[in-house]
Amino acid sequence: MLRPADAVGEAFTSIVARPAAVTATGFGTLLAVGWFVAVLGLVSTATGKVASVFTQRLPTSILVTGPVPRLLNAPFPFPADVERRVDALSGVVASGVFWQVRLRSPVVVSAAPLTGPVGRGQAAGPRQATPALVAATPGYLAAAGVAVSQGRLFDAWDQSHAADVCLVGSALARSLRISDLDSTHTIYINNTGCVITGIVSRPAKQPSLLRSVLLPTSEATTMFGPPDQRAGARPTVLIVTRPGAAGQIARQAPYAINPALPHRLVVRFKRGPTLLRAQVTSALSRLFVVIGWVGLAIGVVAIAGLTTFCVLQRAPEFALRRAVGARRRHIAAQVLAESVIVGLVGGLAGASLGVAAVVLIAKAVGWTPVVAPLALWPAPLIGAAAGMIAGIAPAVRAAWMRPSAGLSRFPPL
């Protein structure tokens, strides 16, 4: 009875003794496994690329409002430190509170003090307007991407001191004939003077701000009282997230803002093409995985053919082994063991080749190479399995050769 260690040793010695044939078979395994790993690596690389393209197009804004008010004087729906709470969430870029100031009569804004009583019908005068008034925190300015062409944004100091400052939209500034802050640095809101800190030129998120006056929320509360939620001046938290984080932040934000009653807050955000992304990447993966397996299968068939050829060449050797006492299963085991060992080594080399191919191709295209460890670690085992599958037919063939036929083919001296 052949000892297992001897069987493996015999297989090893046979492999070393036939470098050319083994190199050919091993090269086949290398190509097959290399192809498999490369295709899987390219799938994950391409999927990563597609995902990142989609992610860049995912919405990053979330709006959180309080419950629909039923009382006349509904309490302010957010805690005072709402921005600090939201900013603490991982994935939040900026956040801030704002509301539209709504009063029973329109607010008249003028570039010069009005002489008569403020009231309906006076807004049509020169350098007067009835624009929208927006109360906002400095955090909101950052979240909304507000930028000024002149002056500066109002900041935390203005907010904490309820300073009489404001930002004027560039369109409104034009209609009020404010060309620069040196000549006109004050506007009058319902005849109350208010220093213009800057002229808003680029509100990335909300173009309507160009026609509005922005006030710190503390000043707006001082000037007009708390937001009249019944009139539609509902305080809102604007949260801007990093790409792809919106969905998660939308789930977390209510708990951060009001842990006791998170479900009373209303969260709005666009979900974006996540389903499309999933469909595209899964279709891509399926296609490439099929290509990978087909390549591997072709490789296995090729290796099987090559191994069969080698086995036929070695008929005399197997006949000799049979003549000195080897059983059929010993011959089959030897062929299989050799095939598995070559497959294992070829698989190792193939994995390296595959990774190298993925990295080079990704570098050439300018993508980030992504190789999943799950595609890489089993590669030698896949090589060994390929070797085993490819070795079955040749092993059976070798085992059932007639020894006497093999002996007659031994090369003469």
Residues of this chain that bind another protein (CB under 8 A): 1-3, 6, 10, 13, 17-18, 316-317, 319-328, 330, 402-405, 407-408, 410-413
| Enclosing H/E stretch for 341 | helix 328-365
Q: Quick one: 9 or 207, whose CB is closer to another protein?
A: 9
**For the chain, how far is it from start to end, CA to CA, in angstroms?**
31
Round to whole Å and give the CA distance between 197 and 165.
6
Round to whole Å and give the CA distance between 40 and 141.
45
**CB of residue 307 to another protein, shortest distance in Å:** 19
- Ordered alpha helix ranges (H), 57-187: 82-87, 138-143, 156-160, 170-175
8 A C-beta contact, residue 253 and residue 89: yes
Residue 90: φ, ψ to 5°: -70, 130
What three-state secondary structure class fits 186? strand
**CB of residue 344 to another protein, shortest distance in Å:** 22
Please report where in the chains the tokens 């460890």 appear, as a residue: 373
**CB of residue 305 to another protein, shortest distance in Å:** 24
- DSSP-derived letter for residue 149 is E
Both structure tokens of 164: 């009489």
Round to whole Å and give the CA distance between 250 and 11.
62
**CB of residue 319 to another protein, shortest distance in Å:** 8
Both structure tokens of 121: 């019908």
Q: Quick one: 149 or 404, whose CB is closer to another protein?
A: 404
Q: Quick one: 226 or 403, whose CB is closer to another protein?
A: 403
Q: Quick one: 103 or 323, whose CB is closer to another protein?
A: 323
**CB of residue 321 to another protein, shortest distance in Å:** 7
Q: Quick one: 14 or 100, whose CB is closer to another protein?
A: 14
Both structure tokens of 92: 């939040």
Q: Quick one: 59 or 316, whose CB is closer to another protein?
A: 316
Q: Quick one: 302 or 407, whose CB is closer to another protein?
A: 407
- DSSP-derived letter for residue 368 is P
How many CB atoms within 10 Å of residue 328?
Answer: 15
**CB of residue 22 to another protein, shortest distance in Å:** 12
Both structure tokens of 169: 């939209």
Q: Quick one: 102 or 321, whose CB is closer to another protein?
A: 321
How many CB atoms within 10 Å of residue 239?
Answer: 31
**CB of residue 326 to another protein, shortest distance in Å:** 5
**CB of residue 369 to another protein, shortest distance in Å:** 42
